[in-house]
Amino acid sequence: DQQVKQNSPSLSVQEGRISILNCDYTNSMFDYFLWYKKYPAEGPTFLISISSIKDKNEDGRFTVFLNKSAKHLSLHIVPSQPGDSAVYFCAAKEGGGADGLTFGKGTHLIIQP
């Protein structure tokens, strides 16, 4: 059973607009969430993270929102740029846990000129 779900395999957004990538989780023990970006033939690159004690974290054009009651998080990219085209993975972790990161299957974001 998938504990982290990214229900949109792909998303197409026009350059300059907002990109919103969504992620849902089922494990209530998760207390830290991360977003990674992955280009073909490269490993995932850490983008932004959020602890469960917060509901928002911002870093430049990237903002992550966490809704614990809905077990939902989202990544907002504003404004979207061509270099943002990549696969975005949502990941979650239990605090202090040794189980590693649990990943979603990714959303392929395509930024159109």
Partner 1 sequence: KAGVTQTPRYLIKTRGQQVTLSCSPISGHRSVSWYQQTPGQGLQFLFEYFSETQRNKGNFPGRFSGRQFSNSRSEMNVSTLELGDSALYLCASSLLAGDNEQFFGPGTRLTVL
Tell me: does residue 100 bind partner 1 (CB under 8 A).
yes
Tell me: does residue 9 bind partner 1 (CB under 8 A).
no
What is the DSSP code string of the chain?
--SEE---SEEEEETTS-EEEEEEE--TTEEEEEEEEE-TTS--EEEEEEETT-SEEEETTEEEEEETTTTEEEEEESS--GGG-EEEEEEEEETT-SS--EE---EEEEEE-
User: Which segment (21-29, 59-67, 75-83, 97-105) binds partner 1 by CB under 8 A?
Assistant: 97-105
Give the residue, chosen from 53, 70, 99, 113, that forms a contact with partner 1 under the rule CB under 8 A: 99
Shortest distance (Å) from residue 87 CB to partner 1: 10
Using CB under 8 A, which residues numbered 13 to 72 contact partner 1? 32, 34, 36, 41-46, 49
User: Which segment (17-25, 65-73, 76-84, 99-107) binds partner 1 by CB under 8 A?
Assistant: 99-107
What are the C-alpha distances in Å from 57 to residues 30, 74, 106?
17, 11, 20
Residues at the contact surface with partner 1, assessed by CB under 8 A? 32, 34, 36, 41-46, 49, 89, 91, 93, 96-106
